[in-house]
Amino acid sequence: MLEEKLDALAQMMAEHVARPFPPGFRSLDVEGRDMVMLDSDAYAYAACVYEGLLSEQACVRLTRLTSAFGTVLPAIDDEYAAKYYTHLHNMVVLSAEIESQRRK
């Protein structure tokens, strides 16, 4: 089951890097979050989870990142950007699931 989730994470990461960043979202804050940093943080945590275990502190930050999407996503009114960031959110949620499964 873990291998399947890791394969799915790898696929999501590949899909993400193939998508262009949403126009107009550079230097944009949504609900107090810099959208470029949200993007890069999400990908960085996914990559770290894919490579191995996170530290306890990094796990806490991953949880915070997951909840940040809960406030940001409803505030995005651009259709493409909403899909783009929803994909990122799903990638972060999967990363958290993988990390949780590893720690059991």
Q: What is the pLDDT of residues 64-93, one digit of tens each?
A: 999 999 999 999 999 999 999 999 999 999
Nearest to 91 by CA among 71, 72, 65: 65
* Mean pLDDT, residues 35-52 taken together: 95
Question: Quick one: pLDDT at residue 53?
Answer: 73
* pLDDT classification of 13: cutoffs 50, 70, 90: very high
d(C-alpha 92, C-alpha 72), whole Å:
14
d(C-alpha 42, C-alpha 85), whole Å:
10
pTM of the model: 0.93
Token duo for residue 38:
């949200």
* pLDDT classification of 103: cutoffs 50, 70, 90: confident
Percent of the chain at pLDDT exceeding 90: 84
* Mean pLDDT, residues 3-19 taken together: 97
Domains contained in the chain, number: 1
